[in-house]
Amino acid sequence: MIMDYNKLLKNKLNQKFYLEETEIVAKNLIGKLFVKKNNSSLLIARITETEAYLDQNDESSHSCKGITNRNKSMFMIGGTLYVYFIYGVHFCVNIVTKDEGKGAAVLIRAAEPLAGIEIMKQNRQIHNFEKLLIGPGNFAKAFNFNKNDDGKSLLSNDIFISDDNYSTEIITTERIGISKSINLQLRFYDRNSKFVSKK
DNA sequence: GCAAGGATCTAA
DNA sequence: TAGATCCTTGCC
């Protein structure tokens, strides 16, 4: 198990990883390590569940009606964070894909906590380890993501994703919580992980 | 099963 | 500027 920050940094995903087709990036992100570091803490989690939101023919994607003040970071270059506020309560963390101006992203729906667990529990105000990072709103809360993080780059040394060659078995399903384009098979999770919102 | 909650967008 | 909507969650 890799817990050394320098090793995580060495294996950080590069720009090219994020420029691929959104479905590919969403699948490839399963099993990767999400890392967030600040002065006092290092939070690490293994991504277990994602959803792709496309730049074309996807009515449930925020980008489907063009660029607005809310979704503008979704149109930035692949590898950018798109963080939005939803239902007056929660933030959701997305990873922008493809080239600048497209409007495609991958929603992080769940992850397995690996480091900084006490801080995640504090942020969530719960003690249940199993459910710390289950659900997009919960993932964002545990990592203390908010509007300030919208538009940040994942190529930085503070927030990034790292590859430790973890092997996964990807299951593909319909997405959760949407009312349009519901038939698209754009949700992905690791069959062998118990840290998934819904099997 | 459904309310909470606030930002955003559309229609007027 | 009112009203509907929203990639959710946790409680009833």
Domain containing residue A129: CATH number: 3.10.300.10
A85 CA to C9 C1' distance (Å): 14
Does an H or E element contain A115, and which? strand A104-115
As ranges, strand B nucleotides with an atom below 7 A of a protein CB are 4-10
In this structure, the dihedral spanned by the alpha carbons of residues A137, A140, A141 and A143, taken in order and rounded to 10 degrees, is: 160
Secondary structure tally for chain A: helices H, strands E: 5, 8
Please say if the pLDDT value at position A2 is more than 60: no
Residue A16 lies in a domain: yes
As ranges, strand C nucleotides with an atom below 7 A of a protein CB are 6-10
CA distances in angstroms from A170 to A48, A97, A99, A161, A190, listed in the order given: 9, 19, 25, 19, 5
Residue A36 lies in a domain: yes
Residue A195 lies in a domain: no
Answer whether 0.85 is exceeded by the pTM.
Answer: yes
How far is Cα A15 from Cα A7, in angstroms, rounded to an integer?
18
CA–C1' nearest nucleotide, residue A150: B7
Domain of A10 in residue numbering reads as 5-165+175-187
Residue A146 lies in a domain: yes
Sorting pLDDT into bands at 50, 70 and 90, what band is A143? very high
* Tally of domains within chain A: 1
pLDDT of residue A198: 86
Residue A194 lies in a domain: no
